[in-house]
């Protein structure tokens, strides 16, 4: 897991070419004006732009084929993160949607994702996004899915 601001993203571009493609798209796209929806960036990288209200709770989720770059365009939310090995599967892995749902009764960390910052979540990073920081808030966020 990596947490940082977009202006520091070049630090992480050497991890993989697909991660670099994802960060370049974030830097070169007018995210304040972009509409919600799915955007193809390359063969192995795409983005989902979402606007929603934060929630009181959600399940943990994990992915096997894609790394998430979760970038907050507007607003803020909490994201809980746990080691995948400390979770239990509640909904089996869907290989088409590349997602499984989990619960975690062990140690988890809470991160505040604010406008201009991102989280990079790898397959070992079970995560519970979209949580209320103190009250329900409107957010606009993009999740760049980076093929492994």
Dihedral class, residue 96 (left if φ above 0, else alpha if ψ from -120 to 50, else beta): alpha
Summarize pLDDT for 23-59 with one digit per residue, the tens.
Answer: 999 999 999 999 999 999 999 999 999 999 999 999 9
Summarize pLDDT for 72-115 with one digit per residue, the tens.
Answer: 999 999 999 999 999 999 999 999 999 999 999 888 999 999 99
Angle in degrees, CA 34, 40, 43, rounded to 5: 155
The CATH class given to the 2-147 domain equals mainly beta
- What does residue 44 show for φ and ψ, rounded to 5 degrees? -120, 15
What pLDDT score was predicted for residue 106? 87
What pLDDT score was predicted for residue 105? 85
């Amino acid at each position: 897991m990596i947490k940082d601001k977009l202006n520091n993203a070049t630090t992480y571009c050497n991890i993989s070419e697909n991660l670099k493609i994802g960060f370049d798209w974030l830097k070169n796209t007018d995210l304040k004006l972009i509409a919600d929806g799915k955007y193809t960036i390359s063969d192995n990288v795409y983005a989902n732009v979402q606007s929603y209200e934060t929630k009181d709770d959600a399940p943990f989720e994990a992915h096997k084929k894609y790394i998430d770059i979760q970038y907050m365009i507007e607003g803020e939310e909490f994201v809980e993160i746990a080691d995948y090995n400390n979770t239990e599967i509640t909904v089996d892995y869907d290989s088409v949607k590349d997602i499984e749902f989990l619960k975690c009764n062990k140690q988890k960390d809470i991160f505040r994702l604010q406008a201009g910052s991102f989280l990079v979540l790898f397959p070992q990073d079970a995560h519970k996004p979209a949580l209320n920081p103190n009250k329900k808030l409107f957010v606009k966020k993009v999740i760049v899915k980076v093929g492994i």
